Structure 1
Amino acid sequence: MRILIVAATLFEVKDLISDLGLSISDSGQPEIYRSSLSSQVTVLITGAGMVATSFALGKQLATNQYDLAINLGIAGSFDRSISLGDVVEITEDTLAELGAEDDEDFISIDELGFGQSVFNSTYKLSARFGLRKTNAITVNTVHGNEASIYKLGSRINAQIESMEGAAFFYACRQVGLPAMQIRAVSNYVEKRNRDAWQIGLAIKNLNTFALEFLDWGRSAKSR
């Protein structure tokens, strides 16, 4: 199985790249990691945000074919029942800001009739991994203001927040590529409080899942 792993930043998947023995194979941006020993796995570092993700994926998918794309990254959680460090599967993701304001009301791109804002995972992850299925929003500005968090909550009951997920789902859908999104929670969505973040734990757990998934895929193929 040819797998494309997509991450916004190198530090989120650096341990995975090292453990797989991958090396950079493209001197330009975005960064691409491959290895002759792991030729079925490619890691694409897109840069943070929807614009960078869309460009990098469009460029990569125009000239390469894969059987599965996986978006890996850390994220914030609105849902306090999800513990910091937990790894979750995003099965639905929404472009929360795409639309128009009508005074105090928000009109989604769907309601305007100009497009779609909600996208879903198109790969069924085995229940053996035991990941909680969640929904998410994708934003340009992560929330850190109580008023904006409350206003968003009255419109969308989101559990997870990232800056790339829905754009990833959209790009994969456009080329018919099965896709899943896996996030590890590094912080709660609240007034910015870096002292409470658990980035190291989230990255460790995220990379552990990725290695387990790839090992499972190899063993399943050999059976």
Structure 2
Amino acid sequence: MNILLVAATQPEIQPLLDYFGDEKPFDVLITGVGMVATAFALGNHFAQNKYDLVINLGIAGSFDRSLVLGEVVEVEEDILSELGAEDGNGFLTIEDLGFGESRFRPIGTMLFLPVKKVRGITVNTVHGDENSIRKITKRLQPQLESMEGAAFFYACKNSMVPSVQIRSVSNYVEKRSRENWKIGLAVKNLNDFAIGLLKKLSLLRCHLDHGGNFHST
């Protein structure tokens, strides 16, 4: 089982890299921040490499106050929330315009992760204004926001690669207040969870190498 880990920045997964050291049972791709960098890096990488599973790891802001800071979640739907056109006070999605799609989901991993499943949006500008937060909440009811998630799903879908997006909540989406953020906790919890998952997948790969069948993890 060939596995690729994808992150926007190396600090988000540094504890995991330190844990596995030179014996990493996976490849790593650091894309850079944002959907453009993510889509380009993945498209280029997929043109030269084949994988059985691609895992996107990162931290994110939460609109949903029922999610605890530091909580690890799986994004089961991600939306390019800005892709479309303004129409007075309204918004026309790319689907409304007939030019494409803005909603993406993971494809065929057969993984069943013991975490909450959430709906995310992917943005170029993270929200920090009460009016814009109110508008996007009314329009899409997102639980999480990142700057890469939907682009990750888009690249995996078009390359037909099984994918999963795992994120940890570093802050609530509100007027920018870094003193309330829990980045260290989010990174720790994300990496602890990912290390456990990758150890299980490594055992599964050994099982498959000895003629076993892949059911689930």
1:103 counterpart residue number: 88
Q: Is the 8 A contact 2:106 2:157 kept in 1?
A: no
Distance 1:118 1:178 in 2: 17
Q: Given the alignment of the two structures, is residue 76 of structure 1 paired with residue 23 of structure 2, yes or no?
A: no
Aligned residues between the structures = 206
RMSD, matched Cα:
1.0
Unaligned runs of 5+ in 1: 23-36
**Partner SS for 1:183:** strand
Q: Given the two structures, how large is their TM-score scaled by the length of structure 1? A: 0.90
Deviation at residue 191 of structure 1 after TM alignment: 0.3
Alignment of 1:23-172 (within 5 A): 37-38=23-24, 40-122=25-107, 123-126=109-112, 129-172=113-156
2:4 is aligned with what amino acid? L
1:31 counterpart residue number: none
Deviation at residue 153 of structure 1 after TM alignment: 1.1
Distance 1:222 1:67 in 2: 14
1:196 is aligned with what amino acid? N
2:21 is aligned with what amino acid? G
Deviation at residue 192 of structure 1 after TM alignment: 0.4
1:83 is aligned with what amino acid? V
Unaligned runs of 5+ in 2: 208-217
Q: Which has the higher contact order (CA 8 A, sep 6+)?
A: 2
Runs of 4+ residues deviating >4 angstroms: none
Q: Given the two structures, how large is their TM-score scaled by the length of structure 2? A: 0.92
Distance 2:205 2:41 in 1: 29
Q: Is the 8 A contact 2:122 2:148 kept in 1?
A: yes
2:20 counterpart residue number: 20
